[in-house]
């Protein structure tokens, strides 16, 4: 049977034989039926560790040096990539961009450069321990680096650029570095996703401003989305987590205290775990 | 640097962002006079020369009068790649990446066809060069798939990426600050159902995006997510879908006439 099919009726379209030929990929029934069974986990041993820009890197040597020592220790036990986010300079970039009246895609286009800076600095500090910078279009090289005991340093910001979606709330791009890091872990089908911040995890309110803020050990993504509570991650991460197919829980740990990352990687109780309720 | 100095700088940057968010007037139209035109993949490109040559000819005729950027769809090869990918268990990010490759092929082929008329291939990250190309009288041709690749949203239903070429074209238009997007297809426009399968499907010449969302049609001529993005758009106020197989429709639509279907805000 030929792979090609020319429609005999008046419409005259040509198709390749597939169950989606002639179908509209907008049709609800077609979409519902197009489900991947047993989706492939591309790098199931991989852990993604995302270092906060504002929470860790902007604090300078005092916060970053000990964290890097810890990561080098962790490397003896686990395979991981390090994502790095932008921090205060991202905020400043956005403030200037908003003042110029840039569209949301224009803002998304320029913020990534600040993360590149932080990634270059983290790489420079860790290069002697095997760190390597891996840009997005080189993700297919990751097995090579990981199998040779190296630590790939990624830029977390997603490649949405001018194609950034309009924000649901407020005026700032919502698919930021946390989203990018989570989608890296989910897309690669990785073992875990750890967000390294400067507080123990999620609280019901900002603990620095409210004495009655309560610590949250474990909470579902769905519950978090239903509450309108303060998050210390991009909300889009929680939205994706609620639809996750591989990485169904994420950790938020305090990177200013030693030992937390290893505990999280070993599945011990530490920080806040946000999970997908099935 | 002393730690309090770092804190001070961080606080300053946080407070200036809050102020800027409140005063934000999104008023920069990067390219207000460009007309963005999408050439359908399955509907036009896959038909080959018989459909594509007349469409390109009409676009070239109009390029003296209008600044045109062309964007391409995927089509039947994208559908085939989704089928094989789904069977092999590929994650949505991989499917999005593969779908993108087909639109790159289509853009490259259309560039070759239009080279003698100034057709020039425009990569996703070459937006900054558009002013030069326009000044030289070129017609930029870009792949329609948005660059989300691995970072494509996990779909609400199934495994096919929700954000495909209509989304990519829509956000290109919104980022450039153009006011309308023209989708060239092989149907008159939007119908209440797929007219190729259901002869009772009724034609909809003009509809408000809210009404269209409320109708909750099983099938649509544009990606569903685009309707929701259109509602939030700052610049793009309407999408126009026309039958490019009928000579003259492209010219009329570029001149602002109502042919086909207009979905508006």
| B30: contact with A, CB 8 A cutoff | yes
CB B142 within 8 A of CB B71: yes
User: What pLDDT does residue A96 have?
Assistant: 86
CB A86 within 8 A of CB B9: no
CB B254 within 8 A of CB B234: no
pLDDT in tens, A18-37: 777 767 777 778 788 888 87
pLDDT greater than 80 at residue A215? yes
pLDDT greater than 70 at residue B1? no
pLDDT greater than 60 at residue A10? no
Which candidate from B50, B91, B175 shows the least CB-CB separation from A105?
B175
Q: Mean pLDDT: which of A9-23, A46-60, A87-101 is highest? A: A46-60
Q: What is the pTM of this model?
A: 0.88
pLDDT band at A16 (very low <50, low <70, confident <90, very high): confident
User: What pLDDT does residue A206 have?
Assistant: 87
% pLDDT > 90, chain A: 70
CB A177 within 8 A of CB A157: yes
Give me the interface pTM, i.e. the ipTM: 0.81
Which candidate from A58, A162, A189 shows the least CB-CB separation from B127?
A162
- Residue window 190-229, chain B: list those with CB within 8 Å of chain A: 194, 196, 218-224, 229
Which chain B residue's Cα is nearest to A53? B10
User: What pLDDT does residue A1 have?
Assistant: 45
Mean of pLDDT values over A209-232: 91
CA–CA separation, A141 vs B206, rounded Å? 49
* Mutate: best of B50, B171, B232, partner A, most A CBs <10 A: B171
pLDDT in tens, B186-207: 999 999 988 888 889 999 999 9
CB contact under 8 A, B6 and A189: no
Mean of pLDDT values over B66-94: 91
CB contact under 8 A, A103 and B76: no
pLDDT in tens, A85-126: 998 889 888 988 998 899 999 999 989 888 999 999 999 999
Name the residue among A79, A95, A93, A89 with its Cα closest to residue A118.
A89
Which candidate from A106, A158, A172 shows the least CB-CB separation from B151?
A158
Lowest mean pLDDT among A159-163, A253-257, B218-222: B218-222
* Distance in Å, alpha carbon of A59 to nearest chain B alpha carbon: 7
Helices B76-88 and B92-114 pack at an angle, to 10 degrees, of: 160
Lowest mean pLDDT among A223-227, B79-83, B108-112: B79-83
* Distance in Å, alpha carbon of B207 to nearest chain A alpha carbon: 18
User: What pLDDT does residue A15 have?
Assistant: 81
């Amino acid at each position: 049977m030929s792979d090609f099919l020319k429609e005999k009726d008046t419409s005259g379209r040509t198709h390749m034989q597939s169950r989606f030929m002639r179908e509209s990929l907008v049709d609800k029934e077609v979409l519902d039926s197009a489900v991947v069974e047993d989706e492939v986990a591309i790098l199931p041993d991989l852990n993604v560790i995302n270092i906060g820009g504002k929470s860790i890197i902007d604090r300078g040597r005092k916060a970053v040096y000990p964290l890097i020592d810890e990561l080098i220790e962790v490397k003896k036990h686990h395979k991981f990539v390090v994502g790095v986010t932008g921090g205060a300079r991202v905020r400043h970039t956005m403030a200037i961009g908003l003042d110029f009246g840039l569209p949301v895609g224009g803002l998304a286009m320029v913020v990534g450069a600040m993360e590149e800076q932080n990634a270059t600095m983290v790489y420079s500090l860790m290069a002697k321990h095997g760190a390597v910078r891996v840009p997005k279009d080189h993700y297919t090289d990751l097995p090579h680096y990981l199998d040779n005991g190296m630590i790939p340093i990624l830029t977390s910001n997603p490649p949405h650029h001018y194609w950034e979606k309009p924000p649901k709330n407020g005026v700032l791009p919502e698919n930021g570095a946390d989203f990018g890091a989570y989608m890296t872990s989910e897309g690669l089908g990785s073992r875990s996703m750890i967000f390294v911040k400067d507080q123990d995890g999620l609280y019901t309110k900002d603990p620095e401003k409210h004495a009655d803020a309560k610590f949250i050990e474990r909470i579902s993504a769905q519950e978090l989305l239903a509450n309108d509570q303060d998050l210390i991650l991009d909300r889009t991460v929680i939205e994706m987590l609620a639809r996750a197919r591989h990485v169904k829980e994420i950790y938020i740990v305090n990177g200013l205290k030693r030992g937390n990352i290893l505990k999280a990687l070993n599945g011990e109780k530490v920080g806040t775990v946000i999970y997908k309720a099935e | 640097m002393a730690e309090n100095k770092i804190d001070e700088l961080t606080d300053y940057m946080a407070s200036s962002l809050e102020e800027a968010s409140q005063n934000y007037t999104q008023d920069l139209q990067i390219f207000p006079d460009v007309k963005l035109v999408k050439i359908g993949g399955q509907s036009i490109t896959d038909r080959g020369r018989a459909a594509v040559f007349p469409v390109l000819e009409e676009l070239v005729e109009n390029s003296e009068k209008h600044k045109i950027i062309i964007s391409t769809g995927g089509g039947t090869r994208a559908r085939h790649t989704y089928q094989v990918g789904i069977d092999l268990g590929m994650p949505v990010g991989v499917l999005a990446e593969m779908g993108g490759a087909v639109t790159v092929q289509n853009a490259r082929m259309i560039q070759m066809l239009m080279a003698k008329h100034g057709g020039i291939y425009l990569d996703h990250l070459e937006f900054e060069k558009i002013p030069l190309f326009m000044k030289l009288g070129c017609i930029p041709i870009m792949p329609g798939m948005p660059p989300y690749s691995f970072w494509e949203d996990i779909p609400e239903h199934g495994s096919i990426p929700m954000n495909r070429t209509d989304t990519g074209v829509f956000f290109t238009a919104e980022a450039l600050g153009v006011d309308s997007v023209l989708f060239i297809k092989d149907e008159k426009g939007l119908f209440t159902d797929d007219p190729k399968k259901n002869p009772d499907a009724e034609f909809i010449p003009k509809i408000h995006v809210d009404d269209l969302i409320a109708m909750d049609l099983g099938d649509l001529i544009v990606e569903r997510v685009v309707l929701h993005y259109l509602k939030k758009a700052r610049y793009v106020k309407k999408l126009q879908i026309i039958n490019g197989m009928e000579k003259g429709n492209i010219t009329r639509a570029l001149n602002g006439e109502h042919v086909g279907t207009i979905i508006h805000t």
